[in-house]
Amino acid sequence: MSPLPFSIDLNNKVAVVTGGAGVLGSAMCRALAACGAKVIIVGRDLAKAQKLATEIEATGGIALGVSCDVLDRAALENVARQIESGFGPCDILINGAGGNHPKGVSNLEYYDAEQAEADPANTTFFDLDIEGYRFVFDLNLLGTLLPTQVFAKQMLGRPGCTVINISSMSAFKPLTKVAAYSNAKAAVSNFTQWLATHLAQSGVRVNAIAPGFFITEQNHKLLIQDDGEFTPRARKVVAQTPMRRFGEADELIGTLLWLVEPKASGFVTGTIVAVDGGFSAYAGV
């Protein structure tokens, strides 16, 4: 585990992290555990979640890996009951589950009738599949809303509780090709602000982290060629990032720890924090 940028005391806190076994989620789980939190790693792949939990426990942390579909309300409620019984009520919820779908993507950046007609494999906005689009919205938006309905209910009336959603750069600036994902993440940011207002007088803070470009399992093939070199899209991303590189998962941790610690961010709610190497600030010229 990389050294923490600073330490906070999360002893006796229960942190639930959906999508916790992914590249970014696992870095967050390790950091929360290193600060003393009891970390519940929620993922579709039970083996991956349990493997991460074992690694955390080997370093002296407390963790449990569980399998749960974030779109299944009944399954979420069952997991919530198990966690409350075994560890206590949820104090920190990280909504990290999300992703894209090939049918919600166009492979042409700009509509070009000649290109579209020249090759049936070329897809534009007009070819986007509604089921693929719906899948992306369900996973990212409802996959944030439903866990929050279930776990934030355990937070009501208890001090220091917080929800952190994972938005995206594509919520600030819609990215070419990935229409469904950009639209869904914009909805996550909007939902974050709405819920922060709704829960503001309950004591529960709601914020979001919007990562810039990080190389993960989901986007690896999109960004890295078989020979290890950057793809054209990756080169374009780096050219638009003032720091001229991709982010490292551990570079999200300082923002995460700041947001979960009420002594540091107790008056912060409804905020979407960009961690992006300057991508959202750069106009390209």
Catalytic amino acids? Answer: 181
Q: What are the strands, taking DSSP E only, across the chain? A: 14-18, 38-43, 62-67, 92-95, 162-166, 205-211, 272-275
Q: How many CB atoms lie within 10 A of CB 102?
A: 10
Q: Are strands 162-166 and 205-211 parallel, antiparallel or unpaired?
A: parallel
Sequence-distant (≥ 6) Cβ neighbours of residue 164 within 8 angstroms: 92, 93, 94, 95, 206, 207, 208, 209, 256, 259, 260
Nearest residue to 32 via CA among 253, 209, 214: 253
Task: Return the ∠ at Cα 212 (arms to 134 and 141), rounded to 5°.
Answer: 25
In whole angstroms, give the CA distance from residue 279 to residue 281.
Answer: 5
- Rg of the chain in Å (alpha carbons): 19
Residue 8 near residue 260 (C-beta atoms within 8 A)? yes
Pairing verdict, β 272-275 and 205-211: parallel
SS3 133: helix
